Amino acid sequence: MTVNPVEAPINILLVDDEPKNLMALETILDSPDYHLTKAQSGEEALMALLTGDFALLVLDVQMPGLGGLELAQLIKERKKTQYIPIIFLTAHYAGDEHVLQGYTAGAVDYLTKPVNPAILRSKVAVFVDLCRKTALEESNRALQKEITERQLAEEALQERNVALENAAEGISRLDPQRHYVTVNQAYAASCGYQPLEMIDMEWQRTVLPDDQEQLMAAYQKMLTQDKAEVEVRGVRKDGSLFYQQLVLVKTNDRQRRFTGHFCFMRDITARKQAEELIKASLHEKEVLLKEIHHRVKNNMQVICSLLHLQSGYIHDLEALALFRESESRIRSMAMIHEKLYQNESLARVDFSEYLSSLGSLLFHTYVANPAAVQLATRLDPVALDLDTAVPLGLVVNELVSNSLKYAYPEGRRGVVELTLRAGPDKQLTLSVCDHGVGLPPGFDLNNTNTLGLRLVNLLSAQLEGTLSVKSSDQGTAFELTFQESPTTKGSGMKINNGNPS
């Protein structure tokens, strides 16, 4: 039970070195309204003041050791005790000089012994009444402060409740058993209920059963990490479904005991529907691109077939070679589109696989005696986009076909080596080597009359690569070094005024 400070007994400290005087003071002031504490010396009184709180001090002036005047000065110097009223008692110092000295030391009254009991009780009653009034005023101020703070807290709580109730985002609070305790209008509306209908409802009832395992995984994460997010499908009152994004925030009381959690919900159905439309649109575009690559490849195959059929009517060997070279170039480009059509990614082609297929096609096209000439490949796994794959494929077509046709004449045996190496910083190195007869004396790569090597030069520049050649009677080696993602725009050759450029 809490005691009202205004009604509680008032603490009074009685100080006198004579026990009989203390007993007399105790008898005079005996009252249920007072709590009397006795001290027989200034030192004992000082210890009592250090440990307790007193409303009045009745103090003898003349005491051995620490006298009354000195004690009074010490009391007034301490912040805790400086406002305690002191009534001095004396049997020896009744003159004006001594009285003035007592008041100077901090006394509020000065009585001579023997003390008149009625006067002492009257004076003590005055200070006790003053103390009670002061305590009452302090109590009233504290009470008013508490009332003001409660009013402000209630106003803030009301404002918060209004804000939560009218928030655009759904907000609910659930107990440790995962039942709804409070639900704002936005949350209830998303679920198709009125707020009061959802009180005490099980949380899982508003989530599709198929998604509840995912929901509970997020709940367990919140229990250990205080917060979790999850996207699940919600179930409205009418059974219709909607997508909801939930943010779970754990709540605890002052003793850090678990009291439930907040659930912040946002209806993301429109976003999910937009995502599905985008996915469907992307799928349609992928199908369309696959069909385009397929048709481009088929059209190029038709052109190759026409060139092949036409070559059957050509008897001039030089013209026949030109037809076959053109057919080979078209096939190398058609094969790129075929790989893209067959690949899951429509943006990049597995160029290592493409080179293996292209090398096999060129080998069977130009090598009459497979026992004499062989094609060896060493290819790092590399994926290239269309703008890089088409010109690089044409370069490989020209260099490999030249080596297969001319490196080992008159039945000589040997190997043509096709290598693709992936280096640091997306740098690629393509090389075509043989150990055949080599290039003609005086050969200049930058000044050649053959269309194939002119194409190699032009396409290397388009790739922003560095092309080098080494040739002797021990063989020829072409090497092209370039970055995987050149800045050149557009794929294949560029034709200006009928000439490759």
User: Which of 122, 141, 160 is the last residue before a domain boundary?
Assistant: 141
Residue 259, domain CATH: 3.30.450.20
Q: What pLDDT was estimated at residue 311? A: 75
Q: Is residue 150 part of a domain?
A: no
Task: Answer whether residue 146 is part of any domain.
Answer: no
**115, amino acid identity:** V
Query: Do 359 and 458 reside in the same domain of the chain?
Result: yes
Domain-embedded: residue 284:
yes
Q: Is 464 a member of any domain?
A: yes
**pLDDT at residue 500, as a whole number:** 40
Q: What is the pLDDT of residue 238?
A: 93
Say whether both 302 and 379 belong to one domain.
no
Q: Is 396 domain-assigned?
A: yes
Domain hosting 492: range is 349-501
* First-to-final CA distance of the chain: 103
Q: Is 158 part of a structural domain of the chain? A: no
Is there a domain that residue 152 lies in? no
Cβ contact 479:430 at 8 Å: yes
Q: CA dist 491 to 65, 291, 296, 333, 386, Å?
A: 111, 19, 14, 10, 7
Kindly state whether residues 246 and 354 are assigned to the same domain: no
What are residue 479's phi and psi, to 5 degrees?
Answer: -140, 130
Report which secondary-structure segment, H or E, holds 274: helix 269-311
Q: Are residues 477 and 375 in the same domain?
A: yes
Amino acid at 384: L
CB burial class (10 A; 0-12, 13-18, 19+) of residue 64?
A: exposed
Identify whether residues 369 and 501 lie together within a single domain: yes
Cβ count within 10 A of residue 380: 13
Residues 223 and 77 in one domain: no
Statement to judge: residues 110 and 204 lie in one domain: no
3-state SS class at 34: strand
51 & 107 share domain = yes
How confident is the chain (501 residues) per 10-residue block, as mean pLDDT? Answer: 62 89 88 89 87 87 84 83 84 60 70 84 83 78 83 70 64 92 89 92 93 94 93 93 92 90 89 80 60 61 72 76 70 62 65 82 76 88 83 83 82 88 89 88 79 82 89 88 62 41 38
Q: What is the pLDDT of residue 130?
A: 80
Any domain includes 147 = no
Do 413 and 487 lie in a common domain? yes
Of the residues 239, 267, 295, the one at which a domain ends = 267
Question: DSSP assignment, residue 3?
Answer: P
CATH of the domain at 426: 3.30.565.10
Choose among 243, 249, 253, 256: nearest CA to 219.
249
CA 108 to CA 354: how far, in whole Å?
111
Look at residue 496 in the predicted model and tell me its pLDDT.
43
Distance, CA of 21 to chain centre: 78
Residues 320 and 458 both lie in one domain = no
Pairing mode, strands 414-422 and 383-385: unpaired
Residue 499 pLDDT: 45
Q: What is the pLDDT of residue 486?
A: 46
Question: Do residue 494 and residue 374 come from a single domain?
Answer: yes
Q: How many domains does the chain have?
A: 4
The domain boundary residue, chosen from 292, 318, 346: 346
Residues 357 and 427 in one domain: yes
Among all chains, which residue has been given the structure tokens 């009517």?
Answer: 313
Q: What CATH number should be reported for the domain holding residue 82?
A: 3.40.50.2300
Q: Are 48 and 13 in contact (CB under 8 A)?
A: yes
